[in-house]
């Protein structure tokens, strides 16, 4: 086995050298590639270590109460994460409540209902919506959505739903326009394209024979979707939704514009609030290096990191298992 190359290269002495150089090249190239690959692990570990270390003084000062405390008082140096964690989760839930049905509707339309040429065009348009920078959503939300919510949507909602027992609580309060509902709506618009694109991909990738057999039995398009396509693609759809959740949790600029930025915890969707990301964006520039406030913000960053990493890890696991092949 080993003699074959040597007999081939025996006529030309340089060929052997070239071969040897190729091996050195492979070793060097392998080292560079490995270094590059491992550097990304270093960056990830760096983010985790640096944030946890930065937030350590806040964690050790307040203990576990940091997560449950609603305080945010830079003067008395009393900080807590509960309000912003609540705001982050609440806006994300609102966002998903709107984004998932819309994303599903658009995906279903693209895959089953639309004419092929139109579908390609519309799909590109939906993807372009995902490409619009978040600050643009923030500005548009601040100048267009917030006044619209304050003048039309919120008064109407209070009028009709404010007195319904149970959910009425959600629609109380002055219609400022800013608040959890507006924040959630803007997030919904931003994450819809992500969820929609995952859904479209899985809906298209289902083996045609499964759908054809169902159609052959006389099922309607909706019945095929609900009883064949959705059960088949459930995992990947969940993965797509988790991906959207991850985006919504960490979104900063768009939310900062419309959330109202007040450290307030309440059930009303109209009340101004804050999220972890918006609080960091607003307060970080005003925090002195080494201060307890800065540490509290970094601790918030670490909490956001944990929440979003769990979500993204779930999303990856679902997506990897969900799409066969």
Partner 1 sequence: MSVQKTSPAVGDGWQRGGAQAVRRRVVERLVSVLCYVATMVVLFLLFSILWTLVVRGGAGLSLSTFIHSTAAPGSGGGLANAIMGSCEQTGLAALIGTPVGMMIGIYLSEFDQDGRIVSLVRFVSDMLLSVPSILVGLFIYLIVVEPAGHFSGMAGTLALAVLFVPIVVRTTEDMLRLVPRAMREAAYALGAPGWRVILSICLRSARGGIMTGVLLALARISGETAPLLFTSLGNLNWSTSLNEPMASLPVTIYQYAGSAYDDWVRLAWTGALLITVAVLATNIVARWWLTRNGSAQQ
Give the shortest CB-168-to-partner 1 separation in angstroms.
26
> At closest approach, how far in Å is the CB of 58 from partner 1?
14
CB of residue 166 to partner 1, shortest distance in Å: 26
CB of 172 to partner 1, least distance (A): 27
| Smaller CB separation from partner 1, 102 or 267 | 102
Q: Do residues 279 and 80 touch, judged by C-beta distance below 8 A?
A: no
Q: What is the closest distance, in whole angstroms, from the C-beta atom of residue 251 to partner 1 in the complex?
A: 7
Q: Who's near 14: CB < 8 A, 6+ residues apart?
A: none
> Closest approach of Cβ 169 to partner 1, in Å?
27
- The smaller minimum CB distance to partner 1, of residues 149 and 189, is found at 189
Q: List Cα–Cα distances, 41 to 31, 36, 252, 303, in angstroms.
A: 16, 9, 25, 20
Distance separating alpha carbons of residues 283 and 274, to the nearest angstrom: 11
C-alpha to C-alpha distances, 242 to 113, 120, 198, 292, nearest whole angstrom = 26, 25, 11, 33
Six-digit token string for 240: 């797509």
Query: Whose CA is closest to 107, among 235, 187, 194, 186?
Result: 194
Burial of 235: CB neighbours in 10 Å, binned 0-12, 13-18, 19+: middle
Q: Would you say 131 or 208 has its CB closer to partner 1?
A: 131
Phi, psi (deg, nearest 5) at residue 72: -150, 85
In contact, 231 and 244? CB cutoff 8 Å: no
The nearer residue to partner 1, 82 or 132, going by C-beta atoms, is: 132
> What token pair was written down for 90?
């609440």
Shorter beta-carbon distance to partner 1: residue 180 or 191:
191
């Amino acid at each position: 086995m080993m003699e074959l190359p040597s007999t081939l290269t025996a006529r030309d002495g340089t060929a052997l050298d070239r071969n040897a150089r190729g091996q050195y090249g492979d070793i060097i190239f392998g080292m560079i590639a490995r270094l590059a690959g491992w550097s990304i692990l270093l960056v990830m570990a760096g983010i985790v270590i640096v944030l946890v270390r930065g937030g350590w003084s806040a964690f050790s000062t307040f203990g576990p109460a940091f997560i449950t405390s609603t305080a945010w008082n830079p003067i008395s140096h009393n900080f807590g994460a509960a309000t912003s964690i609540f705001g982050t989760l609440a806006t994300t839930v609102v966002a998903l409540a709107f984004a998932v049905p819309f994303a599903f509707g658009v995906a279903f339309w693209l895959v089953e209902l639309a004419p092929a040429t139109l579908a390609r065009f519309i799909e590109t348009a939906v993807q372009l919506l995902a490409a619009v920078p978040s600050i643009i959503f923030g500005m548009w939300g601040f100048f267009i959505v917030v006044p619209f919510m304050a003048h039309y949507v919120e008064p109407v909602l209070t009028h009709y739903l404010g007195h319904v027992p149970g959910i009425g609580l959600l629609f109380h309060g002055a219609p400022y326009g800013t608040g959890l509902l507006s924040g959630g709506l803007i997030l919904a618009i931003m994450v819809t394209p992500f969820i929609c694109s995952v859904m479209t991909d899985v809906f298209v990738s289902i083996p045609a024979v499964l759908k054809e057999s169902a159609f052959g039995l006389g099922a309607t398009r909706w019945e095929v979707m609900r009883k064949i396509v959705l059960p088949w693609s459930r995992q990947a759809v969940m993965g797509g939704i988790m991906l959207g959740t991850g985006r919504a949790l960490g979104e900063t600029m768009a939310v900062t514009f419309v959330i109202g930025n007040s450290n307030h915890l309440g059930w009303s969707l109209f009340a101004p609030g804050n999220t972890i990301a918006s609080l960091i964006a607003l307060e970080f520039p005003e925090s002195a290096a080494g201060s307890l406030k800065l540490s509290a913000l970094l601790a918030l960053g670490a909490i956001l990191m944990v929440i979003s990493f769990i979500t993204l890890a779930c999303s990856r696991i679902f997506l990897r298992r969900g799409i066969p092949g």
